[in-house]
A and B are shown apart, each in its own frame.
Chain A
Amino acid sequence: MNGFRPVKIGMTVAIFGLLVSLVSLALPGFEQSAVYAAEPAADAAPSFLYEPAPKLTAADYPTVAGVNSRVVVWVFAQLHLWFAAFVLAVPIFVFIIEVIGMRTRDKRYDDMAYEFIKVSITAYSLTAILGGGLVFSLILFYPHLFTYLSTIFSESMFYYALLFFAESAVLYIYYYGWHWLQGGFKKWVHLTLGLVLNAVGTTLMLLANAWLTFMMSPAGVDAAGVFSGDEWAAVHNFLWNPINLHRFVANIAYGGSIVGAYAAFKFLTAGTRQERAHYDWMGYNANFIAICALLPLPFAGYYLAAEIYAYSQQMGITLMGGIFAWLFIIQAVLIGTLFLSANYYLWCGMGRSDGAKRYTKYIKYIAIVLVGAFLVWFTPHTLVLTNEELKALGGPHHKILGPLGIMPAKNTAVNVMIIFTALSFMFYRRSNKVAVVSWEKAGNAIQVALFSAGLLNIIFLGVYHGYFTNTVYKVAASIPQVLTTLVIIVASITLDSFIYRGAQEVGPLRWGRIPERAQYALFLLAVAFTWLMGLMGYIRSGIRQHWHVVDIMRDASSEAFTPTLGYAANVVSVAAIIFMALVIFIFWIAQVSSAKTLPAGYWKE
């Protein structure tokens, strides 16, 4: 029973955390359900059942001496989100790896999937505790906001709690049943459990996202905040789906990066050659997952931003052109870090194959292009706030860099970055293979032509629409650009699979033969991801400015002001350090649970 003890402790704590949150949900929710019950057929119009959003003053916010209430809620929310993202993502790819294992009948996959889920199980209890902490601190410091939200979302909060129970139950059966539900029909049962687990987990996330997006783009309430009684309208608000999509994808990438860090850590501390090989392989797979999810993220991000803009021009400008414009420079640095470290890891990994020499000479060019594209992305567009700043800069755009700062240039850069990452991957996959088909040369020529034509097309589209059309058409390039990128990726993978049909291996892949610094690339990936998530959490809430619920419920607390980037960065950094410490604790627990001490002479014989 590996890992039984810590898991059991975890379970107890999880249940405790859950109770805390349930009780706290029930308290303010109770009064509301009483309203339903007491007046089912009141002849008064239904709107009387609900009150407008309260108008608060600073006196309505309880304070605890010496405690900054916003920071407490902020840190709890962020920590909860990090863990939640992790524990939701891991079952997704555990499921996929389990399927791969079933199809290839390669037990290594099954073992790896099991190890992944084991890592996530302690994290699961921490998620619950932190969620309880979040609810508790919200009720403590923002009681009226919490009451207002729980009036509107009473049902979904109830289902959230139910689903949480379901999730725990399924997760524990899935985990503890792993070795029992093996082979034939039983394996199918296990796989089905995995599917259910994912369905429940994703639904949980969707519900929580609804509460969050309601505060950004309220729906189902009138201008004074009186709830219409239609909870689905409030859930299905304008920004719900854009955030669902971006989060879903980002969470997978994030989960992959954390598991990658786990593997890297185990690799560095491994005692034997086999262990190193195993964790190298695990790290590779985790990184693979992270990159696959990373590639579509920029598009999901721009879609989200476009939807925010469509919802409210005011909010859109606040997001991209106002006080937060500098934030996107930091975001670019972080995303650049993600792409570069993922690529760097791939390049290092080519050392596992003896055939990689053939490709190493190209790597430096990929690196140059990536850095170049990164710099374009990084170039600020408009950083104007006030008229004084406008005057100081001499215009909204930087004289020399201005042209690189506009959206089409950035879209072009992102697409180029993605294509070159795909290229890195292609080299990696090829590094250990020798093609045997007669038309290999022609095939390669087609590949070169494909990439060149695609890149030219992307650059042409960007330049043409960016600099030779008027404002309205400037972004028209983005869709054909994305399509080109997708075509290149799909076509080149397909073509390569034909070129390398029946290919010979150069030699066995030497898992474990990878420099230690490559493992640090994995850590960098995980840390940058964590920090990026925290930063984006700040902007997501920051664009609400001094509103709890945009235009409906005003934040009247003394902490209603929007903090500066530096302040936010410090909060995020502290939270990230707490998170990393907890993650290390989890890794450690996973390690201890498989350690055995033989206390000589302790037990009577």
Chain B
Amino acid sequence: MRQFLTVVAFTLLTIGFFAAYSNYGIPQIEPAPPPKDEKLDLGSMTMDQFVALGERVFSGKGTCTLCHNALGRAPALENITEVASKRLEDPRYEGAAETVEAYLIESLVEPSVFVVTGFGKKGTNDKESPMPDVSGGGIGLSEAEIAAITAYLQDKSGGEITVEIPSGIENKADEETEEGEPREAINDPEALMVKFTCNACHMIDGKGGDAGPNLSRIGAMRDRTYLRRALLDPNADVAKGFEPDTMPPDLGEQMYAAELETLLNFLAGLK
């Protein structure tokens, strides 16, 4: 028993040491929280505010400083206006940009069009850039944010800001992807039908529009797989007698996963 207790004490002590070392032996760095989308009010923004927004995105959501920093992992961007004009004249340059602004935006969304010598992915002979498309999945910057960064880069490198503050696009983009304020999920199918205006086009039990098929007995006619597809990709099979491209194609993106299931259950039950 004494041996047993010694072993237990020894084990606890060792684990305690590792834990203590990790807590107190090294600095505790709070990793940045997951990026949040700010609601942008572009309409009332001055250019200074727009540039400031660019700077925020640059070191925050855009994660640009992960690579573009003093460690030489990616080209420095201090003089990018000047550098960009040189790039445009570089015989290796085959992209479509003709202005500094266009070059910058191209660098952000299609990094591999021109890869700075020595910075390409290993083994691709500078044909492929390790920089991700910043409008894509991982970083997901919106058009307005990319414009703001471009303005910031131009400003920082002492260039003339040629970018214009976009108007209107941001709010539209927001509605489409529902990335603004997260709304509460709805778990009542009838409320969902109202929210997504199904009734405007579909009749259920005598109520609703007639731009789309009557759904009163839809559960008896179609199985769940079909219904799911009808909601996510309405043009996949078009109901007889109706026009394609009428039903909104992006319901899948607007709805939460749980809402989709709720709605499907409801529709499947309409017999």
Contacts and interface: CB of A to CB of B under 8 A. Distances in A.
B228 interface: yes
A317 B73 contact: yes
Nearest to A325: B29
B22 A569 contact: yes
A541 to B, nearest CB: 13
B28 A472 contact: no
Interface residues of A, number: 75
A456 interface: no
B3 A564 contact: no
B29 A326 contact: yes
B71 A385 contact: no
A566 interface: yes
* Chain B residues touching A, majority SS: loop
A63 to B, nearest CB: 13
A573 B18 contact: yes
A565 B28 contact: yes
B191 interface: no
B136 A323 contact: no
Contacts of B138: 314, 547, 550-551
A555 interface: yes
A552 B67 contact: no
Contacts of B33: 561
Interface string B225-247: 10011001100110000000000
B236 A44 contact: yes
A333 B185 CA distance: 47
Contacts of B7: 265, 268, 523
A382 B71 contact: yes
Interface in A94-137: none
B256 A34 contact: no
A48 B234 CA distance: 11
A471 to B, nearest CB: 7
Among B122, B137, B256, residue most surrounded by chain A Cβ atoms (within 10 Å)? B137
A330 B12 contact: no
Contacts of B19: 569-570, 572-573
Interface in B50-88: 59, 63, 65-67, 69-73
A125 B269 CA distance: 43
Interface size class of B (residues with CB under 8 A): 35 or more
Contacts of B258: 59-60, 144
B23 A569 contact: yes
Interface string B172-207: 000000100011110000000000000000000000
A563 B3 CA distance: 37
What are the 9 tightest A-B residue pairs by CB atom distance, in nearest-first order? A569-B22, A54-B257, A546-B34, A551-B137, A313-B130, A562-B31, A566-B23, A551-B138, A59-B185
Interface of A: 31, 34-35, 38-39, 44, 48, 51-52, 54-60, 144, 223, 265, 268-269, 310, 312-314, 317-318, 321-323, 326, 329-330, 333-334, 382, 384-387, 390, 395-396, 471-472, 520, 523-524, 527-528, 531, 545-547, 550-552, 555-556, 560-566, 568-570, 572-573, 576-577, 580, 584
Given A48-B233, A268-B3, 8 more contacts: A31-B224, A44-B236, A59-B256, A60-B256, A310-B122, A313-B67, A523-B7, A563-B31
Interface of B: 3-4, 7-8, 10-12, 14-16, 18-19, 21-23, 26-31, 33-35, 59, 63, 65-67, 69-73, 118, 121-122, 130-132, 136-138, 178, 182-185, 223-225, 228-229, 232-233, 236-237, 252-253, 256-258
30 contacts: A31-B224, A38-B223, A38-B225, A54-B256, A55-B257, A57-B183, A57-B185, A59-B258, A265-B3, A313-B121, A317-B66, A317-B73, A323-B29, A329-B26, A387-B65, A390-B69, A390-B70, A395-B70, A396-B70, A472-B118, A528-B14, A528-B18, A545-B31, A551-B136, A551-B138, A556-B182, A560-B34, A561-B33, A564-B29, A565-B23
